[in-house]
């Protein structure tokens, strides 16, 4: 014998499904504290030491280091390589500003993604912390570890 679905039962299932989806989506977002913590960071370490650590961190990425200017505090990676089979350049680039604030140093990474369909041209779009939080988390986690090792 089939039990008829009532509006009350249907709305209960709908509400339950909505709550599960909302919870799952909420888990993938950064809290405001996490966003602030991973969007930029201030270290109680002199600029020269932090700048060298940032340079080394960028060098560790597959795209490698393109440019480093200690006077401007700018470290930039190359753009990710050509994608096999399609001949287009699709990849990330990171630019990091390391600026002195007295005896402290602020580090601000900025990610961009090249979405060019032609291998000789670039079309960079910004990748925010909300778009790809893992890029920012991995950058700072590895940088923190590197700076901690240098302190010891």
Burial class (CB in 10 A: 0-12, 13-18, 19+), 142: middle
Question: How do residues 62-115 score in pLDDT, each as one tens digit?
Answer: 889 999 999 999 999 998 765 556 565 568 899 999 999 999 999 999 999 888
Query: What distance in Å separates the CA atoms of residue 152 and residue 150, rounded to the nearest whole number?
Result: 6
If we measure between CA atoms, which residue out of 149, 142, 151 comes closest to residue 55? 142
What own/partner pairs with CB < 8 Å and gap ≥ 24 does 106-111 have? 106/40, 106/41, 106/42, 106/43, 107/40, 107/41, 107/42, 107/43, 107/50, 107/54, 107/140, 107/143, 108/39, 108/40, 109/40, 109/136, 109/139, 109/140, 111/135, 111/136
Q: How much is the pTM?
A: 0.73
Interatomic CA distance for residues 73 and 102, integer angstroms: 14
pLDDT digits (tens, 9 = 90+) for 105-152: 999 999 998 887 776 778 888 998 888 888 999 999 999 999 998 777
The Cα 152–Cα 133 span in angstroms is: 29
Ordered domains of the chain (ranges, CATH) = 40-151 (3.30.310)
Q: How sure is the predictor about 26, in pLDDT bands with cuts at 50, 70 and 90?
A: very low
């Amino acid at each position: 014998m089939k039990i008829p679905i009532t509006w009350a039962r249907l709305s209960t299932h709908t509400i339950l499904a909505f709550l599960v989806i909302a919870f799952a989506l909420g888990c993938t977002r950064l809290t405001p504290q996490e966003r602030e913590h991973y969007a930029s960071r201030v270290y109680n370490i002199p600029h020269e030491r932090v700048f060298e650590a940032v340079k080394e961190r960028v060098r560790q990425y597959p795209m490698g280091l393109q440019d480093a200017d200690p006077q401007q505090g700018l470290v930039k990676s190359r753009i990710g390589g050509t994608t096999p089979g399609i001949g287009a350049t699709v990849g990330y680039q990171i630019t990091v500003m390391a600026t002195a604030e007295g005896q402290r140093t602020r580090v601000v990474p900025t990610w961009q993604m090249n979405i060019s369909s032609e291998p000789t041209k670039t079309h960079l779009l910004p990748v925010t912390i909300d778009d790809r939080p893992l890029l920012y988390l991995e950058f700072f986690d590895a940088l923190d570890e590197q700076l901690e090792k240098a302190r010891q």
